[in-house]
Amino acid sequence: MAQTAPLNRFSLGRGRRVGPYLAPPPAAPVRIAFVGQETYFRAAALTTPTPEITPLFVEFRSGGDPDQMMSAIEGFAPDVVIVFRPETIPAGRFVSLRMPTLGFLTEPLPRGDGKPHPDLAWRLRDTRLIDRSNFDRIVSFDPLFVEAADPLAPVWRSVPLPVDDRFFAPVKRSAVPPRVSFVGRSTVHRESYLMDVKHSFDILHVAHGVFGERLLQLLRDTDVAINLHNEPYPSFENRVSLHLAAANLVISEPLSPTHGLEAGIDFLEVRHPEDLRRAVHQIHQYPDLHRRVRIRGRRKAEAFRASRVYPRIVHDLLLDIEVFGTERLLA
């Protein structure tokens, strides 16, 4: 995989302008303020400073206090602001920020023609709340819904949600019996897969509210992680890359897009509730049967490592603004 030069070696020159902004100081870590709901997105940001990035996570969700959010950002004086779910930022709130802002679309949206699933139609209505003038560029986690997103917020590029470095762990031997978990709220679709397997085996189902240290411990205590779509439409859940980083064996419905993951090599794919029950039964009989898949999935997770992904995104963002400018409104 091609490597981008570290940000502390990427310099446009002290005092040089990147569009309407000053370039970050050369030979210094780039300061990134990550903004979003901690429950869902702290694990997709970066927690620990690196030679390239000094991070800060600012808690903000729909209906939150925008003044408090702005105060935290301005007090940190970042070089770049990255917002998960940009539709939550009230119109015009970023007009005073004199640094590049990047919105990260994290929710699935309709694809192609035809009547969308009601859940996707509801998410599309939320996406219409984005104030395009708040952001220099928009990134989506899924390249396949760009046609739906572009009229609302033109997508600059598509990148899967990264995984905070602290969640990466080495592959270890499975417990006997293996510890199997599913993280996600209950829906009719998910329960159609889980009902039988939960009656047959000891499956830990965490419906909501797990993040931070509790999430970290849960991943450490998990051998096998189940991933099921929220509703019966294709998507790529970031819990897949999170579990792979934690060296869990992942059993999932088909992923779309795959973001480079290969079924049967990096994770186990199931297409029917009986497939899931059979896979869990087999793993209970032979806990390390799919150890090679677990090892390969952990290796592939390196492509999602936050300390590798964010320097590339910011590097390209600054160059893109320098060359093509921005239509963002500034005070």
pLDDT (tens digit, 9 = 90+) per residue, 173-225? 999 999 999 999 999 999 999 999 999 999 999 988 788 899 999 999 999 99
**Residue 263 and residue 272: Cα distance in Å, rounded?**
15
pLDDT (tens digit, 9 = 90+) per residue, 82-95? 999 999 999 999 99
CATH number at residue 55: 3.40.50
**What's the pTM?**
0.93
Question: What does the pLDDT average to over 26-52?
Answer: 94
Query: If we measure between CA atoms, which residue out of 160, 101, 157, 162 comes closest to residue 132?
Result: 101
**Residue 122 and residue 116: Cα distance in Å, rounded?**
10
Same-domain check for residues 14 and 151: yes
- For residue 179, tell me if it sits in a domain: yes
- For residue 99, tell me if it sits in a domain: yes
Query: If we measure between CA atoms, which residue out of 84, 180, 184, 218 comes closest to residue 141?
Result: 84
The yes-or-no verdict on residue 119 having pLDDT over 50 is: yes
Question: What does the pLDDT average to over 47-73?
Answer: 96
The yes-or-no verdict on residue 11 having pLDDT over 70 is: no
Same-domain check for residues 147 and 215: no
Total domains in the chain come to 2
**Residue 223 and residue 284: Cα distance in Å, rounded?**
11
Same-domain check for residues 14 and 144: yes
- For residue 330, tell me if it sits in a domain: no
- For residue 329, tell me if it sits in a domain: no
SS (H, E, C) 262-293: CECCCEEECCCHHHHHHHHHHHHHCCCCCHHH
- Looking only at the bridges linking them, the beta strands covering 101-105 and 137-140 are parallel
Range of 14's domain? 7-162+306-324
Token digits of residue 247: 């060296």
Same-domain check for residues 124 and 74: yes
pLDDT given at position 14: 47
Cβ contacts of 234 within 8 Å, gap of 6 or more: 254, 255, 256
- For residue 71, tell me if it sits in a domain: yes
Residue 12 — very low, low, confident or very high, per pLDDT cuts 50/70/90? very low
- For residue 258, tell me if it sits in a domain: yes
Same-domain check for residues 14 and 154: yes
Same-domain check for residues 118 and 16: yes
- For residue 98, tell me if it sits in a domain: yes
Same-domain check for residues 27 and 145: yes
Same-domain check for residues 175 and 126: no
Beta strands in the chain (DSSP E): 17-18, 21-22, 30-36, 53-59, 80-84, 101-105, 137-140, 157-158, 180-183, 203-206, 224-227, 249-252, 268-269
**Residue 58 and residue 186: Cα distance in Å, rounded?**
28
- For residue 126, tell me if it sits in a domain: yes
Residue 15 — very low, low, confident or very high, per pLDDT cuts 50/70/90? low
**Residue 98 and residue 103: Cα distance in Å, rounded?**
16
The yes-or-no verdict on residue 325 having pLDDT over 60 is: yes
CATH number at residue 238: 3.40.50.2000
Same-domain check for residues 214 and 191: yes
Same-domain check for residues 112 and 240: no
Mean pLDDT of the chain: 93
Same-domain check for residues 193 and 291: yes
Same-domain check for residues 191 and 150: no
Residue-level length of the chain: 331
pLDDT given at position 210: 85
